[in-house]
Amino acid sequence: MKERALRAIAECEQIAAMTEEPGRITRRFLTPPTHDVQAHLRRRMENLGMAVHIDAAGNLRGRTNLAKQVPGKRLILGSHIDTVPDAGAFDGVLGVTLALECVDLAREKGLPLAFEVIAFSEEEGVRFGVPFLGSRAIAGRFDPALLALKDAEGLTLDESIRAYGLDPGQIPAAAIDDDALGFVEIHIEQGPVLEAENLSVAAVTGIVGQTRLTIELAGQANHAGTTPMHLRRDALAGAAEWISAVEKLAKGTEGLVATVGKIEANPNAANVIAGNALLTLDVRHVHDATRLASVNTSIEMANTIAARRGLAIQCTRQMEQPAVSMDERLTAYLADAMEAADFPAKQMPSGAGHDAMVMASRVPAAMLFLRSPGGISHSPTETVRAEDVEATLHVMRRFLERIAGEVR
C-alpha cells in the first residue's frame, strides 16, 4: 500500500507541472495544460485496461468492465483536475490518482467490480464564475443557458468547448444513463478538523449549502483632490463598509461562513474616487434556512449602505446550492471500512462544495476525506502525508471488498 500511496502522491506532483503559469499551479477549465493532464491520465487508464473518452463537457472518463457477470453495474470514482489560481498539487487531482489505485487494487484482489473513473473538467468555478460544470453534465443537470457565460477574455463557454475540439451540442449525451452502484470521491479535507483531532481519514456526512452572488455598486468617479468628502459617491468606500458588515454578520451566526473574496474597483487609480465596485459574496451553512436568511440580510445591508451613500446597486445571484446529504448506506460502509482498517470511524460535514454533491442528485454518493496538514488548501503550501494517503487506500480496499461482496 505504501508504494501505491507514494505513486499517487508523485503523480500529483508530476501533474502540478502542467499549468498555465510557470512556477505556479493554475489550471482553469479547458485551458491548454488540461490537454497534458488528460493525456497523462489517459495513458494511466489505458494501462489499467480502461476504455477512455473525453465527453462534450471535457470530462476524461475511463471505464473498465471487470465484472461481466454484473453488466451495467459499476462504481464511479473520481474528482476534478481544474484548480484555483496559485493552487496546491492535491486538491482534486489526488482523488483521481487514488481512484486509479483503487481500480488497480480491485484488479489485483480479483474483485468482481466494474469501474468508471472520472477526471472532472471543472469544479472550482474560476474561469466562468460558475462551478461544477463537469459534474453538472455527468449528472444530467447542465443548463444549456450556461454556454453563454463569458470568461475574462470574453470567450463564451460554448466557444471554449469548441476551441478545445469538443461539441457543446453533445453535452446531454455526457449524462450517466444507467444505474451505477454509486459515486465515491476521495478528497483532501481542506480544513483543520482532522489535523486537530489527529486523524487520517473521515467519512463525509453531507456538504454545506452555498450561495454565490455578485454586488455591483455604482457611484461617481471624480477628482480625488477637488471633490469634498460630503459631495462624493464613492463606490469603493461603500464596498468596504459592506464587507465589514458581512464579516460581522458571519461572526455572529453560529456555523456561518461568509466571504467577499474578490473586488474590482474602477477606474482603480490612486487619485480618482472609485466610480464603480464589483464584489463577490460566498455564503455557506449546513442548514439551508440559515444560509438563505443570511444572504437576504447581506443584500439588505448592501441596499441600506448604497441608499445612504447615493450609490446604485445591482445584485446578481450566480449560484444557489442547497445543502446535500451523502448516501447513508455508502457512508456507513465507509465508516465500517475505517473500523475494519483499524481507524476511528470519524464522520464530519464538508464546508467546501465538491463534485459529489452534484453527483448525489443522480446516484448514491459518498466522500472520504483525508487530513490536510496545517488545514491548508487552495495554496501552494497545500500538502498531504504519505501515511494518510496509505490509510485512505487501506480504507478503500475494505470498502471495495464490502461492495464487491454485495455485488456477488
Q: Is 78 in the site for Zn ion (CB under 5 A)?
A: no
Q: Is 92 in the site for Zn ion (CB under 5 A)?
A: yes
Stretch that binds Zn ion, among 87-95, 201-209, 307-315, 323-331 (CB under 5 A): 87-95
SS3 call for 399: helix
Q: Given the complex with Zn ion, which of 92 and 275 has the nearer CB atom?
A: 92
**Binding residues for Zn ion, how many (CB under 5 A)?**
2
Q: Given the complex with Zn ion, which of 11 and 91 has the nearer CB atom?
A: 91
Q: 9 φ, ψ to 5°? A: -70, -45
Of the candidates 11, 55, 91, 216, which one interacts with Zn ion according to CB under 5 A? 91
DSSP 144: G
Give min distance, CB of 282 to Zn ion, in A. 15
Stretch that binds Zn ion, among 48-56, 91-99, 104-112, 129-137 (CB under 5 A): 91-99
Give min distance, CB of 109 to Zn ion, in A. 28
Beta-sheet pairing, 365-370 with 201-207 = antiparallel
Q: Given the complex with Zn ion, which of 5 and 81 has the nearer CB atom?
A: 81
Q: Are 380 and 86 in contact (CB under 8 A)?
A: yes
Give min distance, CB of 217 to Zn ion, in A. 31
Q: Are 160 and 151 in contact (CB under 8 A)?
A: yes
Q: Given the complex with Zn ion, which of 276 and 321 has the nearer CB atom?
A: 321
Q: d(Cα 334, Cα 347) in Å, to the nearest integer? A: 10
Stretch that binds Zn ion, among 50-58, 85-93, 298-306, 315-323 (CB under 5 A): 85-93
Q: d(Cα 346, Cα 195) in Å, to the nearest integer? A: 12
Which among 56, 163, 171, 184 is positioned nearest to 116, based on CA atoms?
184
Q: Is 122 in the site for Zn ion (CB under 5 A)?
A: no
Q: Is 131 in the site for Zn ion (CB under 5 A)?
A: no
Beta-sheet pairing, 182-188 with 365-370 = parallel
Q: Is 11 in the site for Zn ion (CB under 5 A)?
A: no
Q: Given the complex with Zn ion, which of 91 and 390 has the nearer CB atom?
A: 91
What's the one-letter identity of residue 405? G
Neighbouring C-beta atoms of residue 262, cutoff 10 Å? 12
Q: d(Cα 384, Cα 397) in Å, to the nearest integer? A: 20
Q: Is 353 in the site for Zn ion (CB under 5 A)?
A: no
- Interface positions with Zn ion (CB under 5 A): 91-92
